[in-house]
């Protein structure tokens, strides 16, 4: 069971890598835009995070405070991505700088919480 949990953790990290990688690529481009790929990475992180929040195997005790904080960050990032993508489709303009840089900061802070807080 521990191997299965480790595989789910790995997939969870892949979700972070997809989200952050797409954001970093957009940050390095000339026009800062959010993308659908960021939303897919966020979805992977959400689904695997829910699975990791379950108390399995029996000797694992999840930190529910950390999980609640990371879920809150995920909801805020999802809202920012959803609003930014809708605005881009409607007007064709790039994402507002505050929203764009907030997405990156929140993604990194969620990863830091996951790694540092045990």
What is the phi-psi region of residue 92: left when phi exceeds 0, alpha when psi lies from -120 to 50, beta otherwise? Answer: left
- Return the DSSP state at 93: P
Residue 88 has pLDDT above 90, yes or no: yes
Scanning 54-96, the segments in alpha helix (DSSP H) are: 64-91
Domain ranges of the chain: 2-116
Output the pTM of the full model. Answer: 0.92
Residues 3-55 have pLDDT tens digits of 999 999 999 999 999 999 999 999 999 889 999 999 999 999 999 999 999 98
pLDDT for the residue numbered 110: 96
pLDDT for the residue numbered 2: 87
Radius of gyration of the chain (CA): 15
Residue 57 has pLDDT above 90, yes or no: no
For the ranges 31-40, 54-63, 73-82, 84-93, the lowest mean pLDDT is seen at: 54-63
């Amino acid at each position: 069971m521990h191997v299965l949990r480790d595989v789910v953790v790995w997939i969870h990290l892949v979700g972070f890598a997809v989200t952050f990688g797409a954001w970093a690529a957009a940050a390095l481009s000339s026009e800062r835009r959010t993308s659908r790929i960021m939303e897919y990475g966020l979805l992977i992180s959400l689904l695997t995070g829910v699975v990791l929040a379950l108390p399995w195997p029996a000797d694992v005790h999840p930190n529910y405070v950390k999980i609640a904080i990371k879920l809150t960050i995920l909801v805020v990032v999802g809202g920012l991505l959803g609003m930014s993508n809708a605005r881009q489709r409607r007007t064709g303009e790039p994402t507002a700088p505050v929203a764009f840089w907030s997405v990156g900061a929140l993604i990194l802070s969620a990863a830091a919480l996951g790694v540092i807080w045990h």
